[in-house]
Chain A
Amino acid sequence: MAQNRLTRFLRNEWIYIVFSVLLVLFPHIVGGITGSSPFGVQRGSRFIMSGAAVYWMSILIDIFALSVLVMSYNLMFGFTGVISFGHAMFFGLGGYLLGMVTQMTGLPPDLAFFVGVALVIVVSAVLGLGIGFATLRLRGVYFAIFTLAVSEMVLIYFGRWAVTGGEDGFALSTIPVWIDAAQSRINLYYVSLILFAGTFVFIRRLVNSPAGAVFKAIRENEMRAQAIGFNTLRFKLLSITIASVLAGCAGIIHALLAKKIGPEMLNVSHTVDALLMTIIGGVGTFTGPILGASGLTLADVLLREATITIGSLTIDIGDSWLLILGLIFVLVVLIFPFGIVGTWNRLRMRFARR
């Protein structure tokens, strides 16, 4: 019996197992190919982060953070059918809270780090729950408006607040050495990999659980879910609270990698990223958000330096990246409303039926 379950598990999940092994070994593989050390170059007791392995690790950390953000957005938008335009607020507040606790309280770095993380989780949960409680009884569009208004207010406030350096933000300098991106990036890599994999497994289990069935019922028809006897408000609040906490954690990783926090972390562009990557990857699919996040991050990295010349007009892609993203966004909504994974699943189902 146990043997049977194991083989079934291996047969169903082999692709995820292969990917996990690849991601765990990734720094060493890249290091081996390019002949650079994933630990950086040692100078006395300190390490200097240089070399191809370190560079590619930072791109993957970026992808992990973004994937967690997009997966959390997908839990709300794709599986529960709740649309929020303020997800960037949770992402940015994650970074800001961690930064403020580690930089401004004077606690020892290790303690401050864990207090910061705990605070991010508690505050995101309370804030998500509060916003949801205040507006979710109303029609879906009110929630979208309210989240946009609140996140714009938070952005304006942090852009002017002298304590956090206003428009310029502040640097993260007193981070414990074991997770400092400038000292031991490989540790940060594994921490974000754990968060990423954990989020993926957690969301899959949640959506496939009875609670997940209620989420999907709410997405399809909230009135009907209510008529069956579910307290739909409670389930929507659960979905939003989880998504808010995950977005805050994604913000922590982003801030740890950048080692700097500023109001741009609260910018609506992070909400756009989350929305766009959910739609491009596939709304309401498990792997879609990851494909969307990694595809767009890689495109951004590769195209940042590129320029297009049409006649006398030279367009710098890096500068107008958001404009291009917006255009892609509109095209995908019009042409592939189910995204990469959604379209793939539909095609597969159509062929299987024949």
Chain B
Amino acid sequence: MLKSLVPTGRGSVATSVALIGAILIFAFIAANFSPGTFAITLLTGLLRAMLLFLVAAGLSLIFGLMDILNFAQGGYFMLGAYITFDVVHPEAGIMSFGSLIADPTMRFAFAITIATLIGAVLGYVLERGLLRPLYKRALFQLVLTFGVSIILLEAVKFLWGPSPYSWTVRLPIQESQFRIFDTPFSTYRLFVIAMGLMLMAVVIVLLRRTRIGIIIRAGVQDPEMVSALGINVRAVFTLVFTLGCALAAFGGGVAVPFLGATNSLGATFLLASIAVIVLGGLGSFEGTAVGSFVVGLGWAAMEQFSARPEIGTVLASMSPMLLLALVLLLRPKGLFGEDR
């Protein structure tokens, strides 16, 4: 049961650095040695890493604390994307109250808030209503979160239909671009990267420096001992689960302007985030942070690589699963994981 939140020695750090170095070299080759394309690939990779982190953070903490792999986490991401899209595009969807706010930027911020709140409420309901009665039966919890992920997918198809939506309302921040090596990159994406890094820092400080963070870290080590010290561990479980789902829905909200709202978002991001937490080592939060950089950069590099006509786009859409399968086969204990 021993799980660690600290990197285990110099070995894992060295492996991570080597891995990221190898991915950077691969990205440079994939970019045909052009510095502009390389920079864009890197920024796209960082963007992916931030989105993956938003899904994987909850996944990792929930797994560490409660030993549940929440298969519905991707569903929350997808739901966040659809709700945000819907509020910003009142004519397309079911929540027409979005049209009350005229300014698109304000409406977008409002939409993300709504999506995050709905994610939090649904996360709370899932934990309190459905998972808590099954605490003694881990296999059934896994099966249940899988069932909830199907319900979320089918509910989204029922409410918004099966065909994908692409973002049409132009936000001022999306329109503005900047150039690196004569290649344009949207400021909005840079903004998302900055926000993701900030959130990553906030979560790490929360875990390292606050009382609730200490309780969560102790809970990852040994929930029974924490509960024996008179702390309501169940309430901590609920809090972490709710926050995790809210973070995933928030991630979907910030991603929808450039990814569009599609049915496959949930499965794609779920599998890629599982790759992140497995690579980082199940139960290690620093591992999750490093893992999201590795998988995000690797995914973007593979996409760049499969843009070549002789490779084909199949590889690009398979790459999250391919990365996951490779990670499971080669390094199942993860970079920062311990034998469990």
Contacts and interface: CB of A to CB of B under 8 A. Distances in A.
Contacts of B329: 134-135
A165 B313 CA distance: 17
A142 B328 contact: yes
A322 B271 contact: no
A20 to B, nearest CB: 32
B318 to A, nearest CB: 5
Contacts of A337: 134, 137, 140
A83 B69 contact: no
Contacts of A308: none
Helix, strand, loop or mixed for chain B's interface? helix
A150 B340 contact: no
A152 B133 CA distance: 31
Task: Indicate the size class of the contact surface on chain B.
Answer: 35 or more
B56 interface: no
Interface stretch (A191-199, A244-252, A324-332): A324-332
B144 interface: yes
B219 to A, nearest CB: 19
B158 A330 contact: no
B154 A149 contact: no
Contacts of A330: 130, 144, 147-148, 151
Interface string A117-153: 0000000000000000011001111101110111011
A326 B324 contact: no
A184 B158 CA distance: 39
Contacts of A153: 318, 321-322, 325
Given A149-B325, A333-B147, A323 B271 contact: no
Contacts of A138: 328, 332
B156 to A, nearest CB: 10
A153 B148 CA distance: 22
Interface string B130-159: 100110010110111011101100110110
A100 interface: no
B228 interface: no
A140 B278 CA distance: 14
Contacts of A320: 154, 158
Interface string B200-241: 000000000000000000000000000000000000000000
Nearest to B144: A333
Helix, strand, loop or mixed for chain A's interface? helix
B134 A279 contact: no
A309 to B, nearest CB: 16
Given A81-B139, A141-B142, A160 B314 contact: yes
A272 B145 CA distance: 12
Given A152-B271, A333-B134, A322 B314 contact: no
Contacts of A322: 150, 154
Contacts of A161: 314
Contacts of B69: 141, 144-145
Contacts of B133: 334
Contacts of B151: 323, 326-327, 330
B30 interface: no
Given A153-B321, A156-B314, A275 B143 contact: yes
Interface in B304-334: 313-314, 317-318, 321-322, 324-325, 328-329, 332
Interface string A252-283: 00000000000000001100100110010000
Interface string B60-100: 00000000010000000000000000000000000000000
Nearest to B277: A145
A272 B267 CA distance: 14
A149 B321 contact: yes
A148 B144 contact: no
A85 interface: yes
Contacts of B139: 81, 83, 140
Interface of B: 69, 130, 133-134, 137, 139-140, 142-144, 146-148, 150-151, 154-155, 157-158, 267, 271, 274, 278, 313-314, 317-318, 321-322, 324-325, 328-329, 332, 340
Given A149-B325, A327-B151, A333-B134, 12 more contacts: A135-B328, A142-B332, A148-B271, A152-B321, A153-B321, A153-B325, A157-B314, A272-B147, A325-B150, A326-B147, A333-B140, A333-B147
4 tightest CB-CB pairs across the interface, nearest first? A323-B154, A326-B151, A149-B321, A329-B147
